[in-house]
Amino acid sequence: MLSMKAPCGNPAQTRPGAGARRSLLLLVVLTGLAAGARAATAPYWLLGRRPVHAVRRVVSLAPNLTEMMFALGAGSLVVGVTRYDDYPPAVKKLPRVGGFIDPSVEGILALQPDLVICTPNPGGRQRLEVLVRMRVAVLVLPCYDLAGILAALERLGQVVGRRGRAARLRATMKARITEIGTSLAGRARPRVLLLYGHRPLVAAGPGSFAHEMVELAGGRNVLEDSPTRYPVLPLEQVIRLAPDIIIDAAMAGGGEAGRREETSFWKRFSVIPAVRRGRVYRFDSALWFRPGPRVVEGIERLARLLHPEVALPGAAGDAGPAGASP
């Protein structure tokens, strides 16, 4: 029998803390599974059910979609979020309704939403179908790549009555990405390894969201020929790949303890060019690899790490060396 109970209520009791990094890795894996299991990449209504009137109450089951709602000026419509939501600060006061794969049907229904928004998730589909049978519309918004993010913003804008805001946001994001590309034109592309986890070593392969970010930031993924989106690598393969730069998102956000762990991890492998040259960088995966409206900032910050010699638009970098050089 399917249990429909999950954390709901006081957000202070369900704040993720360090678990947010593990949740991101889980989301990465689930996104890869969903992408492989379903060919469709456009937004769609689960079981075909749509809202019967103007949307006034929304529950978001993905942090990136929550960010989209606020970026569209529709944050006031959001009445519930996941235990992993942390941005913008206003979400800290909202009720929590579980996670990616364990949304609380009971908790969601208690909030009386007109609409639930989510990303494709093979683990939570059964619970979402329960919501549809209870006459709650569920909009699924794939965000596998930049095109998916832009499509999700457009569809959300349509559904929540923010078409103009969505069009302006999309145009701004596209213009900023074009500007980055223009600034990097003709530059040599360093060979980059981007890691999501240490135990095991989970990396970004072709077809992944982070792979596209590396390309847009003027890098070349050392795993561009990998047959999988998120390969698990033995350390020997990392040494053999000999990346010029390592972007380590495994411990970012872990504070000083995370910095010390990263430093200790990498300093043993000075045979790797990135380590030997001090080009192992922490990168906050929860912030800059989240496929939402801040993705352009992530691309800008990543480009600054890959090409420090180039004057780029945008804010100063939020990533820093892992202290891996011997």
Residue 317: predicted pLDDT: 45
pLDDT tens digit sequence for 72-100: 999 999 999 999 999 999 999 999 999 98
Nearest CA to 74 out of 10, 169, 147 is that of: 169
The structure's pTM equals 0.83
pLDDT (0 to 100) of residue 84:
92
Residue 177 near residue 216 (C-beta atoms within 8 A):
yes
Per-residue pLDDT tens digits for 247-279: 998 865 555 555 566 667 898 999 999 999 999
The CATH-assigned architecture of domain 11-161 is 3-Layer(aba) Sandwich (3.40)
- Spatial contact of 59 and 116, defined as CB atoms under 8 Å apart: yes
The per-residue pLDDT string of the chain (326 residues; one tens digit each, 9 = 90 and over) reads 333 333 333 333 333 444 455 555 555 555 554 554 444 589 999 999 999 999 999 999 999 999 999 999 999 999 999 999 999 999 999 999 999 889 999 999 999 999 999 999 877 889 999 999 999 999 999 998 999 999 999 999 999 999 999 999 999 999 999 999 999 999 999 999 999 888 899 999 998 889 999 999 999 999 999 999 999 999 999 999 999 999 998 865 555 555 566 667 898 999 999 999 999 998 877 777 889 999 999 999 999 999 999 988 764 444 545 543 33
How far apart, in whole angstroms, are the C-alpha atoms of residue 230 and residue 201? Answer: 10
Dihedral sign, Cα of residue 306, residue 286, residue 257, residue 29: negative
Phi, psi dihedrals of residue 220, rounded to the nearest 5°: -125, 120
Per-domain residue ranges for the chain?
11-161, 185-321
Query: Which CATH architecture fits 185-321?
Result: 3-Layer(aba) Sandwich (3.40)
